[in-house]
Amino acid sequence: MSHAKREGSRGLGSLLMGAPEEAVSDEAASTLGRCCMALMSGLISQWAFDPTTAPDGKALTEGLRQTVEAATRK
């Protein structure tokens, strides 16, 4: 199971970077891929428990935009 999770993280990193999986560094798979995996599993959990209150694409996009804005604020 943990091997599949690592491979999934690498695959997500590949998808977001627009690069083949073999070009995704271990660091990118460990950071970008695992972060996306955490966001996806959280969203899946929210949909499983109460789909009427789970965020839609617009809310997720705005939430990520605000996260990046807050993280890059000087």
Tokens of 30: 């460990």
pLDDT in single tens digits along all 74 residues of the chain:
777 777 888 888 889 889 999 998 989 888 888 888 899 999 999 999 999 999 999 999 999 999 999 999 97
Domain count, the chain: 1
DSSP state, residue 16: H
What is the value of pTM for the model shown? 0.71
Residue 55 belongs to domain spanning: 2-72
Other Cβ atoms within 10 Å of 50 Cβ, number:
9
